[in-house]
Amino acid sequence: MKSVPNIPRYIHLYDGTTVENFNIQEIRSYLGQWFALDRIQIRGEFVQHNVGGQEQVPETIAEDLAKAYVEMPEGPASNTLYDGSVVQRIYADLIDEKENSSDHLHIAFTDKLIGTWDAGGRRYHARVSIYGWPSIISTIGVVEAPAKPRAYYFGLMAGLDEKLLREELSGRFIDYGEARLTELLKGYTMQAVFYHLSAEPFCDHPDCRLFNAHWQKEMIRAQLTSPEDFCNNHREVLREIRSYREQT
């Protein structure tokens, strides 16, 4: 298949979450529409799995992860995030040699807030996901990364109570405890898949799950309220993948 040359033979989903309303089995079933379910494996938290299931993370790895902390004087409510590029490098070094090829797709779900450095703006930006080897998807990122409605920020600047603002603007952005979290993260999981396939995880169509949303309203539209999961072009790619899978 020339258009999608890097179809993985195995997909590994790592569950490093404790938040409510996240169902990794549902993610697996969703991927199973295009990939054989017996080749999609659910695993525990990424680091613990890759250090042999040890309950205690080895000290050297814990120290490396601690160095990835970024203090945010202004920014996400958690006030602390991890440099996602650093975390990704640490994770990549832990992947078993036997699974260190394009036959394998590794996707780690985490409750950690991750971000990347913006050299132009000289600041970190929170992210929902970072794609690569492995891909990392943050459950907190869906709340903190895409921008909320302008009314939210204007209200904060005017000194309004944040809790009241969240209640007043409820439904216009994703907040903690969102019942549709799993449904929302299906799209980000597919972005990780498309990054693996072609290094192009995003789509310009606002009603496609691969749309690179910068605002909460864009994310809600692409992941939760659009009439179709994917645009015509990406549906065709997925049909090719399904056809290829059925022949192999």
pLDDT for 55 equals: 63
| Of the candidate ranges 70-74, 85-89, 117-121, the one whose mean pLDDT is the lowest | 70-74
Q: What is the pLDDT of residue 246?
A: 73
Class of residue 109 by CB neighbours under 10 A (exposed 0-12, middle 13-18, buried 19+) = buried
Q: Which residue has the tokens 């990704």?
A: 88
Q: Which of 106-115, 168-177, 235-244 has the lowest mean pLDDT?
A: 235-244
Report how many domains make up the chain.
1
In a domain, 1, yes or no: no
| Residue 135 phi, psi (nearest 5) | -85, 145
34 is in which domain, residue-wise?
A: 10-247
Return d(Cα 228, Cα 132) in angstroms, integer.
Answer: 26
Q: Would you state the pLDDT for residue 221?
A: 97
In a domain, 3, yes or no: no
Give the H/E segment covering residue 167. helix 162-168
Q: How far is CA 8 from CA 22, 105, 176, in A?
A: 24, 6, 33
Give the integer Cα–Cα distance in Å for 8 and 127.
Answer: 25
* pLDDT tens per residue, range 152-191: 999 999 999 999 999 999 999 999 999 999 999 999 999 9
Domain annotation covers residue 182: yes
pLDDT of amino acid 60: 86
Average pLDDT, the chain: 90
What's the pLDDT at 22? 96
Domain membership flag for residue 178: yes
State the pTM of this model.
0.91
Which tens digit of pLDDT belongs to each residue from 25-65? 999 999 998 888 889 999 999 999 998 766 667 788 889 88
Lowest mean pLDDT among 61-70, 179-188, 194-203: 61-70
**75 has pLDDT over 60:** no
- CATH at residue 142: 3.40.390.10
Return the pLDDT at 247: 72
* Residue 217 near residue 59 (C-beta atoms within 8 A): no
Position 57, amino acid: V
Q: Determine the 3-state secondary structure of 121 from DSSP.
A: coil
pLDDT at 79: 57
Predicted confidence (pLDDT) at residue 1 exceeds the cutoff of 50: no
Q: What would the two tokens of residue 8 be?
A: 């993985």
In the DSSP assignment, the letter for residue 3 is S
Contacts of 112 (CB under 8 A, 6+ apart): 16, 81, 82, 87, 138, 140
Estimate the crossing angle of helix 24-31 against helix 181-198, to 10 degrees: 50
Q: Which residue has the tokens 């990549």?
A: 92
Domain-located, residue 99: yes
**CA 17/CA 112 separation, integer angstroms:** 9
Dmax over CA atoms of the chain, in Å, equals: 61
